[in-house]
Amino acid sequence: MPSVLARATSIAAIVLLAACGGGGQGADSTMPPDGEDGRSEGDGPGGGENLAGRCQDNFGPDRIDAGQDCAPAYHEYCEGTFGNGGFSYDEVPACDGVVVETVAIEDADTYAGFLKYVVLRPADTDPRAVVTSLHFRELLRDPNKAAHTYGTQMRLHELVKGRNAMVILPGAPGGNWQQFSPTGLLDSIEESGLGDLPLLDLLGGVDSPLFGLLEGIGLPVGLLDALFGNAGTLGDVADALDNLAPLVGSIDDYLQYARTARDHALARFGGAELPQFASGLSNGATYAMRLACQYPDEVDAFMTVGGAVSALEAEACKDNPPVGSVQVHGINDPLSPYIGIITYPIRGGVPPINEDYADGEVDGIPEGVTTAVLREQPGLFLDVFGPNNGCSDEVEASVIPAGAAGRGEIAGDVVIERFADCTAPEGHKSYMVTVTRGGHNWPGYDAPSGRNVNALGLVSYDFDATLYGFDLMWRAAGLE
Which has more pLDDT, 297 or 3? 297
Residue 302 has pLDDT above 60, yes or no: yes
Residue 392 has pLDDT above 60, yes or no: yes
Q: Dump pLDDT digits (tens) for 320-379.
A: 999 999 999 999 898 898 888 778 999 998 767 554 445 555 565 666 666 666 777 899
Compute the distance between CA of residue 278 and CA of residue 470 in angstroms, rounded to an integer.
Answer: 10
Compute the distance between CA of residue 62 and CA of residue 44 in angstroms, rounded to an integer.
Answer: 14
Compute the distance between CA of residue 431 and CA of residue 429 in angstroms, rounded to an integer.
Answer: 7
Least confident segment among 64-78, 171-185, 211-225, 430-444: 211-225
Residues 6+ apart with CB under 8 A from 236: 199, 226, 227
pLDDT of residue 334: 86
Give residue 123's identity as a one-letter amino acid code: A
User: Which DSSP symbol is given to 275?
Assistant: -
Per-residue confidence band for 139, with pLDDT thresholds at 50, 70 and 90: confident
Residue 145 has pLDDT above 80, yes or no: yes
Nearest to 133 by CA among 283, 11, 250: 283
Residue 262 has pLDDT above 50, yes or no: yes
pLDDT of residue 429: 98
pLDDT of residue 340: 83
Q: Dump pLDDT digits (tens) for 464-473.
A: 999 999 999 9
Cα torsion for 236, 240, 242, 248, to the nearest 10°? Answer: -150
pLDDT of residue 305: 98
455-460 average pLDDT score: 93
Nearest to 386 by CA among 466, 319, 290: 319
Compute the distance between CA of residue 420 and CA of residue 417 in angstroms, rounded to an integer.
Answer: 9
| Cβ proximity of 456 and 20 under 8 Å | yes
Residue 413 has pLDDT above 60, yes or no: yes
Cβ atoms within 10 Å of 402's Cβ, excluding its own? 18
263-282 average pLDDT score: 98
Which 3 state secondary structure label does DSSP give 169?
A: strand
Residues 6+ apart with CB under 8 A from 372: none
pLDDT of residue 199: 61
257-271 average pLDDT score: 98
pLDDT of residue 222: 52
Per-residue confidence band for 41, with pLDDT thresholds at 50, 70 and 90: very low
Least confident segment among 187-191, 270-274, 320-324: 187-191
Taking the CA of residue 362 as centre, how many other CA atoms within 13 Å lie in the half-sphere pointing to its CB?
A: 26
402-431 average pLDDT score: 96
Residues 6+ apart with CB under 8 A from 298: 259, 276, 291
Nearest to 63 by CA among 75, 79, 52: 52
| Cβ proximity of 444 and 25 under 8 Å | no
User: Which DSSP symbol is given to 165?
Assistant: E
Residues 6+ apart with CB under 8 A from 288: 132, 133, 134, 278, 279, 280, 302, 303, 304, 307
Quote the distance between the C-alpha of residue 126 and its chain's center. Answer: 26
| Cβ proximity of 242 and 248 under 8 Å | no
Residue 383 has pLDDT above 60, yes or no: yes
Which 3 state secondary structure label does DSSP give 301?
A: strand
pLDDT of residue 365: 63
| Cβ proximity of 168 and 133 under 8 Å | yes
Least confident segment among 165-174, 370-379, 382-391: 370-379
pLDDT of residue 361: 56
pLDDT of residue 154: 97
Which 3 state secondary structure label does DSSP give 316?
A: helix
pLDDT of residue 29: 30
pLDDT of residue 318: 96
- The average confidence (pLDDT) of the chain is 81
| Cβ proximity of 419 and 392 under 8 Å | yes
Give the pTM. Answer: 0.81
Q: Where are the alpha helices (DSSP H) in 48-198?
A: 61-65, 143-153, 156-163, 185-192
Residue 260 has pLDDT above 60, yes or no: yes
206-224 average pLDDT score: 49
Residue 25 has pLDDT above 50, yes or no: no
Compute the distance between CA of residue 348 and CA of residue 196 in angstroms, rounded to an integer.
Answer: 20
Handedness of CA 157, 297, 318, 242 (dihedral sign): positive
Percent of the chain's residues with pLDDT above 70: 71
Per-residue confidence band for 4, with pLDDT thresholds at 50, 70 and 90: very low
Nearest to 395 by CA among 69, 63, 68, 61: 61
Residue 290 has pLDDT above 70, yes or no: yes
Nearest to 202 by CA among 238, 168, 245, 175: 238
Per-residue confidence band for 211, with pLDDT thresholds at 50, 70 and 90: low
Residues 6+ apart with CB under 8 A from 134: 169, 170, 172, 177, 258, 278, 279, 280, 281, 284, 285, 287, 288
